[in-house]
């Protein structure tokens, strides 16, 4: 059974990059039936109740981490402790483990520690930035809080905004569906400021996505990216106005037309000169 991220890669290669199912099957090391299966369903459906046991790796994992820590200050930036060297050391110490197991563990370890940087050059349809923040609106002459979902296409600067009366994950996911329908397509990458409806846990350099948001990304075949906390350099043209009091006052002014009291879900047609 594949992980959600692997299913996302398969769907992206076929549906977005236009590769053949046979080519993707060879690259990913899976059968064409598996590729065809996950083109029809956007997330895996697990049957087993627990993870597959890895007793050999479990015995060696602790020693591998110790060797990496011991060799950290003994190599230059142009050198590295290879899987073959670690494998020989483990065998010399009496730990029976295959070299493929060691290399796979190191590869996965590097992948998890690799940080993704957001490019500053934007191509058409390549990137959108998303925010979900609090605003103040007047409904029937009563001032109250609401929350605005905002998605900006980074190439054109075109915006989509929708007002919600709740700041929950259902509203957050619904905003994506409405934005994609409004734009008539899905940008390849969506960038987030580590929003709680999208990110369950931040352990730099990794972000653990919420299950429902990961399923949404797999269904629409887009790559979710996160900005580094507290680092404005990674936000490019992030809607800075969206987080500023100036923007909130402007948003409230243009939304202050009569909104239904029962449902605060109305599209707001913003234009670039407002920012």
Residues 222 and 99 in one domain: no
* pLDDT average, residue stretch 226-247: 50
Q: How sure is the predictor about 243, in pLDDT bands with cuts at 50, 70 and 90?
A: very low
Do strands 223-226 and 267-268 pair parallel, antiparallel, or not at all (unpaired)? unpaired
CA–CA separation, 136 and 132 (whole Å): 13
Q: Is residue 47 part of a domain?
A: no
Query: Which structural domain, as residue segments, surrounds residue 65?
Result: 55-113
Residue 189 has pLDDT above 80, yes or no: yes
Residues 26 and 143 in one domain: no
Q: What is the pLDDT of residue 79?
A: 57
Q: Which residues contact 239 (CB under 8 A, 6 or more apart)?
A: 129, 131, 150, 152, 159, 247, 275
Residues 101 and 175 in one domain: no
Residues 146 and 263 in one domain: yes
Q: Is residue 209 part of a domain?
A: yes
Query: How many domains, in total, are found in the chain?
Result: 3
- Residue 44 vs residue 178, higher pLDDT: 178
Residues 77 and 200 in one domain: no
Q: How many CA atoms lie within 13 A of 234 on its CB side?
A: 15
CA–CA separation, 207 and 78 (whole Å): 28
CA–CA separation, 164 and 132 (whole Å): 10
Residues 90 and 186 in one domain: no
Q: What is the pLDDT of residue 4?
A: 80
Whole-model pTM above 0.85? no
Residue 234 has pLDDT above 60, yes or no: no
CA–CA separation, 82 and 92 (whole Å): 16
């Amino acid at each position: 059974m594949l992980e959600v991220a692997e299913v996302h890669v398969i769907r992206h290669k076929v549906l977005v990059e236009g590769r053949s199912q046979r080519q993707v099957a060879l690259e990913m090391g899976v059968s064409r039936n598996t590729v065809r299966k996950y083109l029809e369903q956007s997330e895996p459906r697990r049957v087993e109740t627990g993870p597959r046991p890895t007793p050999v790796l479990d015995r060696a994992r602790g020693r591998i981490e110790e060797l990496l820590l011991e060799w950290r200050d003994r190599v230059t930036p142009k050198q590295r402790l290879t899987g073959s060297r670690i494998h020989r050391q483990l065998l010399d110490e009496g730990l029976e483990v295959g070299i493929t197991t060691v290399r796979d563990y190191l590869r996965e370890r590097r992948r998890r520690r690799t940080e993704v940087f957001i490019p500053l050059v934007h191509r058409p349809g390549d990137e959108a930035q998303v925010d979900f923040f609090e605003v103040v609106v007047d409904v029937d002459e009563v001032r109250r809080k609401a929350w605005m979902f905002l998605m900006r296409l980074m190439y054109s600067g075109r915006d989509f905004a929708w007002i919600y009366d709740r700041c929950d994950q259902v509203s957050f996911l619904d905003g994506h569906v409405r934005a994609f329908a409004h734009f008539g397509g899905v940008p390849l990458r969506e960038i987030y400021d580590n929003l709680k409806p999208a990110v369950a846990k931040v352990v730099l350099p990794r972000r653990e996505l919420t299950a429902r948001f990961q399923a949404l990304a797999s269904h629409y075949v887009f790559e979710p990216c996160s900005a580094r906390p507290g680092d404005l350099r990674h936000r490019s043209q992030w809607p800075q106005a969206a987080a500023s009091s100036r923007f909130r006052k402007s948003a409230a002014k243009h939304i202050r037309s009569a909104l239904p009291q029962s449902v605060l879900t109305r599209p707001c047609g913003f234009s670039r000169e407002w920012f």
